[in-house]
Structure 1
Amino acid sequence: MAFPGHIQKTNKRTFPVESLLMPQIPRGNYFHLQEEKQRLQLKKFLLHRMFLVATITPNTEKKDISDYYEQVFQSILKHHLGEAVTGFLLVYPTSILHILETSSGTLYRILLDYLNHKQNETEFFIQRMKIIVASHNIPTRLFMQWHVSVMKVPVMYLDDVTQTQSLEEVITEFLTQTHKLALHLLKTVKVGAKGPGDNLHQIAPELLIPEQIIKYLCKSEQFMDPETFIDMYNKPIHVTLDSDVIWPAPTYF
């Protein structure tokens, strides 16, 4: 029933202006996505993998090499908890192949310790080290712990591929064989075990990298040595603008 002179009011709901401006669907960004992935994987740091090759001085005790790296790892772990090192050290008669998986800061300290020994000692037993590959932010580890395997007997190879193949072909074979070896160890070595031992040349001889390839890569100038890597790591990013090299200098208003 309506009365004359009475204006019926309509029931209009008012919405705050902020609710119209705010998105109705929660939005994130790529950085938050990466943080969430790291949290779900229980990672405290981004994981990196580095492939190293080097020569060793004659009459070097192979145990001295493994003891050296174990001491370096323990020293770093005291100051950087949780940044454990996994990987594989393959010791040949005159050279080594080393794969490391850890954080970028730990890799930096491992290389820095090597440089300190090389500069302060007359003849450090590890020489001519080269960084073959550095893979950043890898999703998972290939190794559950750090293993050492010593080649006690020389392995004879009939063909020296370094004499007939290009550098690209040699490095392709190197990476292919290295990853096959890593996958083999991942499947066969149980967690907590000491590793493949010193009879790897009998267990999987077809997966071993010929030593002449290791020595060939150590001599190659195309790969970065630790000194250059450390210099690039410490060098700040600086971009020179065109206005910085114009003379006379322009006047800014």
Structure 2
Amino acid sequence: MSISVKTRNVSKRPFPLESLLPQVPRNNYLHFQEEKQRLQLKKFLLDRMFLVAKTRANIEKRDITEYYEQVFQSISRRHLEEAVTGLLLIYPTSILHILESSSGTLHHILLDYLNHKKGETEFFIEGIKIIVVSHNIPTRIFLQWHVSVIKVPVMYLDDVTQSQSLEEVITEFLTQTHKLALCLFKTVKVGSKGPGDNLHQVAADLLLPQQIIQYLYESEEFMDPEMFLNMYYKPMHVTLDSEVVWPAPSQF
């Protein structure tokens, strides 16, 4: 007697290995940055802007400080917790201004300047040039907004603007301003008024001569606020010529 045995057909396809492994959620780089900002409790990205400006001669410190304080207060009513920190150095006919805040706050400061320039014939700031804008900086280097009048003459061996290129002058400009900012960060306590007009006693060797400020202001390589804001508001999407021809190009 023969006994027939039926065998089951077993599939030879390999068992998927992925089902045996634990599923790990995968995020993209955008999610990583958003989570990083959330953990750091940042409500906005922090920017730093370096400005140089030409002013009327013999301008009073009170006029400049009152103007900027009013601008900061007006912006803070709409943009809470976006405080402005930085340094304003007032020279006889020019100023050096470093501002730290959100990009929206910095743009409102530039817009306020343009509105005053168009509406007032004797505005104390005759022109502004934007030297550098640093986006998404990790932390502030100024604890508050400081103002100092540079009246004490400082002796310099030579005028570097006559012997150095623009790149070298910018390098020295950024190097000296960062050293000055770090010096103030280490010496000025939180809540104090800062060095005031005695900055030459705190860091005399770190003060930039006025000719460097004037040289950067007169350089055509830097944008004024109007050009900067026009570029900022310009749409990122640009229609190419190939997108408007007819018939539309076929893709292979």
Partner of 2:195: 196
CA distance in 1, matches of 2:27, 2:150: 52
1:134 aligns with 2:133: yes
CA distance in 2, matches of 1:152, 1:75: 30
Q: Give ranges in structure 2 of 5+ residues lacking alignment.
A: 1-15
What secondary structure is seen at the aligned counterpart in 2 of 1:132?
A: strand
What secondary structure is seen at the aligned counterpart in 2 of 1:143?
A: coil
CA distance in 1, matches of 2:248, 2:136: 44
Residue 239 of structure 1, CA deviation: 1.8
> Superposed, which structure 2 residues align to 1:238-253 within 5 Å?
238-244=237-243, 246=245, 249-250=246-247
Assess if the C-alpha contact under 8 Å between 2:149 and 2:196 holds in 1: yes
Q: Give ranges in structure 1 of 5+ residues lacking alignment.
A: 1-16
Residue 251 of structure 1, CA deviation: 5.0
What secondary structure is seen at the aligned counterpart in 1 of 2:247?
A: coil
CA distance in 1, matches of 2:237, 2:133: 23
Q: Percent identity?
A: 75
Partner of 2:224: 225
**Number of residues of Structure 1 aligned to a counterpart in Structure 2:** 234
CA distance in 1, matches of 2:113, 2:43: 25
Partner of 2:102: 103
CA distance in 1, matches of 2:99, 2:69: 12
Residue 94 of structure 1, CA deviation: 1.2
Residue 25 of structure 1, CA deviation: 1.2
CA distance in 1, matches of 2:115, 2:194: 29
CA 1:216 to 1:21, structure 2 compared with 1: closer, same or farther past 3 Å? Answer: farther
Partner of 2:210: 211
CA RMSD of aligned residues (A): 2.0
Residue 198 of structure 1, CA deviation: 0.7
Residue 212 of structure 1, CA deviation: 0.5
Assess if the C-alpha contact under 8 Å between 2:242 and 2:249 holds in 1: no
Q: Deviations over 1:25-53 (max 9, x none)?
A: 12222112212222222211001000000
CA distance in 2, matches of 1:87, 1:251: 53
> Superposed, which structure 2 residues align to 1:116-127 within 5 Å?
116-127=115-126
